[in-house]
Amino acid sequence: MKRLALALVLAVWAAAAISPVAGADPTHAKSSTLITADCGGRAVTVSVNGNGEFSPAHDVNSTSVFVPTAFDLTFTFTPTGGAPEPETDTSSKAGPIKNTVTCDIPLQTLFAGPEGSATIEGTVTGFWTPQR
């Protein structure tokens, strides 16, 4: 169950499938999750969905996209009536890239239901496109 929860949470954060169609709304995608972060002193809310760990996340208040290059995240799944099961992701995919920013993700609940709940917290480094 712990691996499944980690896979779900990783997919939620790191997998924003951004449609090239004008007017597409990623916040209404079936697997969309909203995550708040502080990116270089700027509060943002991003919509994440899709299937790839390093897929971009869409800033819901603009047309900007955040492309992650490194993670230091802790996901915790707590089954109903059970003990918390934390997992840490410290993946990275690229060497230093110009104009990267590190986004702090405060502790927040990703989902809660009869099976349990999951939280996320940590940092994600990447870059915005278009560049800010």
Q: How confident is the model over 27-56, as a mean pLDDT?
A: 83
- Give domain status of residue 73, yes or no: yes
Decide which of 16 and 121 is more confident: 121
Q: Which residues, in sequence order, are CB contacts of 76 under 8 Å at separation 6+?
A: 84, 85, 86, 87, 118, 119
Q: How far apart are alpha carbons 71 and 53 in whole angstroms?
A: 10
The residue segments making up the domain with residue 53 are 2-18+33-129
Give Cα 20 to chain centroid, integer Å.
20
Token pair for 70: 């490194």
Domain membership of residue 96 (yes or no) is: yes
Q: Kindly state the average pLDDT of the residues 94-99.
A: 77
State how many domains the chain has: 1
Q: What is the mean pLDDT of residues 8-17?
A: 40
- Say if 28 falls within a structural domain: no
pLDDT band at 99 (very low <50, low <70, confident <90, very high): confident
Name the more confident of 82 and 27.
82
Q: Flag whether 24 is in a domain.
A: no
Note the Cα 91 to chain centre separation in Å: 13
User: Is the pLDDT reported for residue 59 higher than 60?
Assistant: yes
Does residue 78 carry a pLDDT above 90? Answer: yes
69, 127 contact by CB (below 8 A):
yes
* Strand, helix or coil for residue 31: coil
Mean pLDDT (the chain, rounded): 80
Strand-pair category, 57-59 with 101-113: unpaired
Identify whether 23 is part of a domain: no
Q: Which amino acid is at 104?
A: D
Q: What's the whole-number mean pLDDT along residues 12-35?
A: 51
Looking at the domain assignment, is residue 76 inside a domain? yes
- pLDDT interval class at 4 (50, 70, 90): very low
